[in-house]
Amino acid sequence: MACFVHERVTEAVCESVKGKSVARSCVLYAFCCFLPSRSPAMGNLIKVLGKDLENCPHFFLDFENAQPTEAETAVWNQVSAVLEEAHGILAELQSYNGAGQEIREAIQNPGDLALQEKAWNAVCPLVAKLKRFYEFSLRLENALRSLLEALTSPPYAPMQHLEREQALAKQFAEILHFTLSFDELKMTNPAIQNDFSYYRRTISRNRLNNQQLEAENEVNNEMANRMSLFYAEATPMLKTLSNATTKFVSENKTLPIEDTTDCLSTMACVCRVMLETPEYRCRFTNTDTMLFCMRVMVGVIILYDHVHPVGAFAKTSKIDMKGCIKVLKEQPSNSVEGLLNALRYTTRHLHDDSTSKQIRALLQ
């Protein structure tokens, strides 16, 4: 009889606090005291409530106003120096028009030296700009490494780090926001690849003719090879962050890989909870913070999917992919279609056998 009552009470309590995460820890504590420790009801309650608490931390991550504590200042200053350039990089990329017209005229008139020179003079400053973008990716990689070291170091768990060191968490989010913004702009601008290909062809042709152009002093052959690999990627900045995170894990053999992936999954969960919880959303004072939060959520999902051995879409994943996709689909399609496409086309494990049909259907 007692078991029956406990089962009914458990069901009633679970139903009453469903979706009310703030109350769950209190309810769990109260019923731990009330129910016999070995009762089936106790097990069910811990399974229903405890799992949610463990896998989905609920706290507000202040993306708008977080300021560094004294303990965060050294890393924060280092990363801040890099992020100060990010806005300018995006502005330059957004205004990148390319030298398509000049290149076409030069190709169509190979004997016209004036047109060849005109195309070359148009391409060289653009390649210098592309070099700056590439070099910035290297600085961003170092900044990410510093943040990963700070946000995964013992003795704190990733959730504790994110809650305690919100200024560093905010910078981590800003790096992801920049990364997805950069890659979106790059993917929609074929002029980048065309300009750089023309530059390399011209350099090679002149080298065969024993001519060296002045521009080679700035972008030599070795640098050109590295830049070529970078821009050949559909999402070059994301690839840089993915490689940096994988390298961080492999070089820190004493640090369990879970510490790094848990940092990513916790960030994804915190973003999702803030987006779907009105009490948290109403604390956003900037209208752009919603999109920022969604972009960060997608960024950490993709990064997690690249770094974790089984990815973000498997049943064992610590990211609630269905919940994250549903949150995105509740927004106006014009603001999230690019983010949904990022999940469709830049993740690694979406089409694995371990991915459920439901999740695949949600992304169709």
- Report pLDDT digits (tens) over 13-59: 444 444 444 334 443 334 344 444 444 433 333 333 333 444 566 66
Structure tokens at 349: 């494990």
User: Is-cis flag, bond preceding 158, omega within 30?
Assistant: no
pLDDT band at 207 (very low <50, low <70, confident <90, very high): low
Distance of CA 309 to the CA centre of its chain: 17
How many folded domains does the chain comprise? 1
Q: Tell whether 223 is covered by a domain.
A: yes
Closest CA to 119 of 107, 134, 135: 107
Residue 77 has pLDDT above 70, yes or no: yes
Q: Tell whether 212 is covered by a domain.
A: yes
Residue where the block lists tokens 């390319």: 98
The rounded mean pLDDT for the chain is 82
Measured CA to CA, the distance from residue 327 to residue 322 in angstroms comes to 9
Measured CA to CA, the distance from residue 66 to residue 25 in angstroms comes to 26
CB-based contact 33:65 (threshold 8 Å): no
Q: Tell whether 275 is covered by a domain.
A: no
Residue 164 has pLDDT above 80, yes or no: yes
Model pTM? 0.79
Question: What are the pLDDT digits (tens) for 306-315?
Answer: 989 899 999 9
Distances in Å between the alpha carbon of 219 and those of 1, 147, 295?
81, 30, 33
Residue 88 CB contacts under 8 Å (≥ 6 apart), including other chains? none
Residue where the block lists tokens 């968490």: 169
Host domain of residue 216: 68-233
Residue 111 has pLDDT above 50, yes or no: yes
Residue 360 CB contacts under 8 Å (≥ 6 apart), including other chains? 350, 351
Phi, psi for 22 (deg, rounded to 5): -60, -35
Structure tokens at 19: 């979706």
Three-class secondary structure of residue 197 per DSSP: helix
Question: Which range among 9-13, 220-224, 329-333 shows the weakest confidence by mean pLDDT?
Answer: 9-13
Q: Tell whether 357 is covered by a domain.
A: no
Total residue length of the chain = 364
Q: Tell whether 29 is covered by a domain.
A: no
CB-based contact 231:132 (threshold 8 Å): no
Whole-number CA gyration radius for the chain: 25
Residue 175 CB contacts under 8 Å (≥ 6 apart), including other chains? 79, 83, 140, 143, 144, 147, 241
Question: What are the pLDDT digits (tens) for 332-358?
Answer: 888 898 899 999 998 999 999 999 999
Closest CA to 356 of 317, 307, 328, 303: 317
Q: Which residue has the higher pLDDT, 5 or 148?
A: 148
Q: Tell whether 280 is covered by a domain.
A: no
Measured CA to CA, the distance from residue 158 to residue 168 in angstroms comes to 12
Measured CA to CA, the distance from residue 213 to residue 221 in angstroms comes to 12
pLDDT band at 209 (very low <50, low <70, confident <90, very high): low
Helix 2-16 × helix 21-34 angle, to 10°: 170
Q: For the purposes of burial, counting CB atoms within 10 Å of the CB of 35, is it exposed (0-12), middle (13-18) or buried (19 or more)?
A: buried
Residue type, 82: V
Q: Tell whether 189 is covered by a domain.
A: yes
Q: Tell whether 327 is covered by a domain.
A: no
Q: Where are the alpha helices (DSSP H) in 233-318?
A: 236-251, 257-276, 278-281, 289-307
